Amino acid sequence: MIQFAYPLALLSLVAIPILLALHLLRPRRRRVVVSTTTLWQAALREREHAHGFRRLLRNLSLVLLLAAALALGLALAGPQWPASASAAGDAVLVLDVSASMKTRSGLAMTRFDQALAEAARLIDGLPRDGRMLVMTSGRKAVLRTGFESDREPLRRALAELRPGDEAGRPREALDLALSLLRGRSQGRVYFLTDGAYESSVDPGSPQVEFRMVGGPARNAAITRFDFRQELSGEDRFQVLMTVKNYTDAPVVAPASASLDGRVLFRRSIELAPRGEQTLVLAFPGRALGQAAARIDVDDALAADNQAFAAVNAHERLRVLLLTKGNFYLESLLQALPGVELFKTASASVADIAQLARSHDVVVFDGIPAPRLPPGNFLLVNTVAPGLPFADTGRAARPDALRRGRSALMRDVDLAAVRIDEARIVVTEAPSKALQRLFWSPETDLALALLHDDVKLVYLGFDLARSNFPLQAAFPMFMSQSLEWLRPRGDGFLSAHVAAGSTRAINVPAGESSVIVRGPSGSAWTLEAKDGTAHFEGTADAGIYRYAIGDTERTFAVSLTDARESDVNGRWRPRERQEEARPAGGGRQALVPLWPWLLAAALMLLTLEWCVWTGSRNHA
């Protein structure tokens, strides 16, 4: 927007009507008497009919005079052009590479294409003594160049950029950009974004200039896709899918989900304006393999019309056994396939939380357990404080064992089980979170608890003082308990991460690296440290594969982010500028335009003089 240093000088434009009047009064035409003007009039009509634009040329002199007066008047008003792109000082160019930047905007263009074009303009406008740094803002902020005064490396960096399938976290990138400019008073951050996020990401700094791209767009998206096992059935699973409509019109979205090529369902979902629907559908059989969900709608953002999951991938279960020695338990855990056993005699209370995070299941065998942190636990002959059941005594030789219908008790035959002594536990109140597995008239002998962040199986007697370990029921019970305790979060079976986030891969002892292959075939070799490799190349949605030893494993990367898919829920930078920019505190470099206008006025006056002189000579 052009600003005027001296707006009152615009009053000089009054000269234009005066010039017009003078022009009309100027006796410039020679009077010539002719016998008749009829023929001249007819000739004029014919010429004007054939060359309408020449009408303007008849008054070329006047037009030039008026244009000169306009240019002079504007020059007096001191117009200034806010040339922010050419402002001296360092600049940080932040490009939004979140999934919403893939939204179509115009013909064969995306919001990211528009952002790239704007970025190229900013680079072109970089002053000779200015420097610029290019970084991207996705789920993480990534520096793409250092501060460069040469435009070529900046352009090369731009050419390599493309948007991912990740949800954006622009605040992190903006904070990083501002920190890079700390101490540079002339520094400026250009954030090229579509604004598909909340206004809370705005750091409120006058150094940040938002360059918005894109416009309104239609979108529907899969915002959740997961699998879980039904508690009641051992071989029954559920697929969960949430679809949301981000438009103001109803949408019919044909949706489907498949698992290893097997179609789990296919149906049309009718979505109200701005509405969402969640499908939870049970299916029998194995929940193992690569799953994909899709909605077939023609909307502006295709990235969120699909989601992926790697279901029940064979991860080795890291089990920590806290025991003073239990032959049966140790032998069984070492013998169970897919279980990696770590054993220790004791651990401090402070270490338990750390151990629970670093292991899939922690087993307390006869050792007093502290208040349990979030994690998966198997309590054998011990009770922890803070649970909905408490130890109240001992029961000798409980018999007449009864069993529940839990999946954990599948094929567990208790008929021959004899127990010498058992702990008597009292439950606080009936709860759906607490499931009785088997019991005697005196007390509950085995319980399953799914409570907040704690997942727990309780076995209320000493294995060494029973024949339970000698029965076939014991490995069955333990195997199914560990399977149930397998950490999948909220009971879901699928292994998937949000696009752009880091995936930690456990690397067994003896392996130092792991190769990960992405959905497009790209490969990354990761070095393992302390038994873990961190993979960060999850920008694209799809199934990722990696091999440890002879075993190939997979995990899925999906967008499934309701906020990122809301491509119309856009934040308005103008509001921010009005609120955040301090009065007179703009750092825009205002380029004065009056010299150009003055030069233009002089040229116009010279031209007018030539036209006028030529016309007079002709006359």
Which residues in this chain contact other proteins in the complex, by CB under 8 A?
A: 28-44, 46-47, 58, 615-619
Report the C-alpha gap between 237 and 309 in whole angstroms: 14
Provide the Cα torsion 452, 456, 461, 463; round to 10°: -170
Nearer to other proteins, 393 or 614 (CB): 614
Q: How far is the CB of 26 from other proteins (least distance, A)?
A: 11
Least Å from the CB of residue 611 to other proteins = 11
Which tokens sit at 572? 């308005």
- What's the DSSP call for residue 502? -
Closest CA to 198 of 177, 167, 219: 167
Strands 375-380 and 402-403: unpaired
Output DSSP code: residue 139. S
Best CA proximity match to 73, nearest among 13, 24, 150:
13
Q: In angstroms, what is the minimal distance from the CB of 613 to other proteins? A: 11
In angstroms, what is the minimal distance from the CB of 606 to other proteins?
A: 20
Question: Of 145 and 615, which has the nearer Cβ to other proteins?
Answer: 615
Contacts of 443 (CB under 8 A, 6+ apart): 395, 398, 422, 423, 424, 425, 460
Residue with Cβ nearer other proteins (27 or 368): 27
CB of 596 to other proteins, least distance (A): 32
Q: Which is nearer to other proteins, 277 or 615 (CB)?
A: 615
Query: Which residues share a beta bridge with 322?
Result: 344, 364
Choice between 324 and 618, CB closer to other proteins: 618
Residue 310, helix vs strand vs coil: strand
CB of 15 to other proteins, least distance (A): 24
Taking the complex as a whole, the smallest distance from the CB of residue 65 to other proteins amounts, in Å, to 15
Smallest distance from other proteins to CB 38, Å: 7
| Nearest CB to other proteins, comparing residues 46 and 198 | 46
Q: Rounded to the nearest 5 degrees, what angle is found at the Cα of 199, between the Cα atoms of 196 and 200?
A: 120
Rounded distance, CA 370 to CA 307, Å?
40
Q: Are 256 and 263 in contact (CB under 8 A)?
A: yes
Q: Which residues contact 381 (CB under 8 A, 6 or more apart)?
A: 365, 366, 423, 459, 460, 461, 462, 463
Q: Which is nearer to other proteins, 30 or 574 (CB)?
A: 30
Taking the least distance from each CB to other proteins, the nearer of 39 and 523 is: 39
